[in-house]
Structure 1
Amino acid sequence: MTTKVLIVEDNLIIQMFIEHIITNVGSTHVKTADNGEDALYIIESYMPDVVLLDIGLSGTLNGIETATLIKEKYKIPFVYITGSSDFSTLESARKTGPIHILKKPIDEYELTSEFEIIRQKLYESKFESSK
């Protein structure tokens, strides 16, 4: 089964790195956006299985605001990617119900293993919802 992933990251180098790693994990199809507004537009037609989302997005919607809209309107699981480790930001992020949080900087090995954890969580949530 192919996992459809939307990566929402405004740093092009980080976005390309994540896309490269996720694509090489296998059985994935990846689309990207660099802001919350574009992400919501892409979701309309792409309907990913999971959204990997930078908390500190530039634009009118930050990552937490974008995630809240994704959760309310589309009910798509999401994962935060963050370089911020301050308590208040992480607490605000956790309250939105991500299935996972990835901390920057992230290396290839870590991202590969973390993505497998994310896939397992997606599988478990689909299995639970089909009961």
Structure 2
Amino acid sequence: MDDAVRRRVLIVEDDPLSARIAAKILARLGYGVCAVIETGEDAVTGAALHAPDVVLMDINLAGAMDGVAAAKAIIESVGAPVIFLTAAMDRDIMDRVAATGAAGYIQKPVKLLDLKANLEMAITRRQRERPCPTDAVAALYRSLLFAVATACAAPLVVVDPEGRVLFSHPDNSIAGELFSEAFPGRPAFPQAGDTPCEDASGNLLGWVRLSP
């Protein structure tokens, strides 16, 4: 488990006992816990801030956003693999979980061997799909962007040239959505007051708009 020592896990769980059990098992496996979060809304923001290697996500959470919706937002915006923790799962929830592209799910109470297998499969799959150096740089930029936006205390949205939201502060749950769908009625292309993001050749990479 030498590689696991460098791996960081975000726990999203509103039951303190379950969170403690998961953290203890992770410690035995050599993984580090970067944060324990109780709500789906905070999980989306926390994933952008902490850039975890894996997210352990309870399905039933405190707050308006459940674990399935939070997982979908995290996968689309941050790219971190999500493993669900659940006491029971019916057909409707199974269908919603499958649609998120989650890396797996574990029945509660969490068992060491189940968690170990799911973590290793999730990380191996991510390494295969997205090279680690690229992930690390992207995670660093996301963390820096979140820190700057928080320090400025200014709501903003970053949009790519195709009109898709790359980042939004303070609520990043809309990342991955089309700007026109996330903000209906507002111009979905750069305006005079927006800030363009260009590469060294002057090609437009995206644009930033301060939210009202």
TM-score, normalisation: structure 1 = 0.86
The answer as to whether partners of 2:81 and 2:126 remain within 8 angstroms in 1 is no
Q: Does the Cα contact within 8 Å between 2:12 and 2:56 map onto a contact in 1?
A: yes
Query: Which stretches of structure 1, 4 residues or longer, exceed 3 Å deviation after superposition?
Result: 127-130
Match of 2:100 in 1: 96
Q: Please give the secondary structure, in 1, of the residue aligned with 2:100.
A: coil
1:104–1:91 Cα change, 3 Å: same
The structure where helix makes up a greater share of residues is: 1
* Structure 1 residue runs without a partner (length 5+): none
Superposed counterparts of 1:1-131, under 5 Å = 1=3, 2-26=6-30, 28-30=31-33, 31-106=35-110, 110=111, 112-121=112-121, 122-130=123-131
Q: Tell me the distance in 2 between the aligned counterparts of 1:25 and 1:6.
A: 15
TM-score normalized with structure 2 length: 0.55
Change (3 A) 1:43 1:104: same
The amino acid across from 2:32 in the alignment is: H
Q: Which deviates further from its counterpart, 7-16 or 90-99?
A: 90-99
Higher relative contact order (CA 8 A, sep 6+): 1
Q: Using the alignment, how far apart are the partners of 1:101 and 1:120 within structure 2?
A: 13
Q: Please give the per-residue CA displacement for 1:92-129, whole angstroms capped at 9, x wherever unaligned.
A: 112211111101233xxx2x212221232212430453
